[in-house]
Structure 1
């Protein structure tokens, strides 16, 4: 009996699993531009949906140490956060998303980014 159960769990059961969700298919990194001519600062979006990483750049509204990003099942970016603010896929602060983790650490670090170590 144990052999049949083991056979089912290792060969047939994975067919029913849906492990192909791409909730981490896009990564957001970077910091706001310091000067209009500063080509080394700004947001970087790394998209892994096609298999090969595709890198694009945008103006990011916050300092983004890698804290968290969420994508939907297809890998489309929904929002990202640096621990201080939540930014939507259009790279704008979400409603009521500008004062996360209010307190002493927020006051000390959120002018740059919430400490992620």
Structure 2
């Protein structure tokens, strides 16, 4: 069985939903023997294993540099002002997600994701 978790909450410092997603992924990675777990971060798919989760946790626990934080805020502010940027990003995510859904048995989104419906065959 292939399980896919939406992992975009791993990109920034953990909030409540980020902690939930990390603990869910960690518990599944430790307990699942015959379940393949992959993550979808909105752009790409990646394997979720204990090494990946340890790297995500270490990145979250590290103190971010002030310059890196300001750079992200500045870039996000610029992108927000571009007309239809959110729509284009969502369409891109849909396209990337649709390309690999044939192998996925279960998808769990922890944040609101506008993905296409998967037709069951």
| TM-score for both structures, normalised by structure 2 | 0.26
Query: Which protein is richer in strand relative to its size?
Result: 1
Query: Which protein is richer in helix relative to its size?
Result: 2
**Which structure is higher in RCO with an 8 Å CA cutoff and minimum separation 6?**
2
| TM-score for both structures, normalised by structure 1 | 0.27
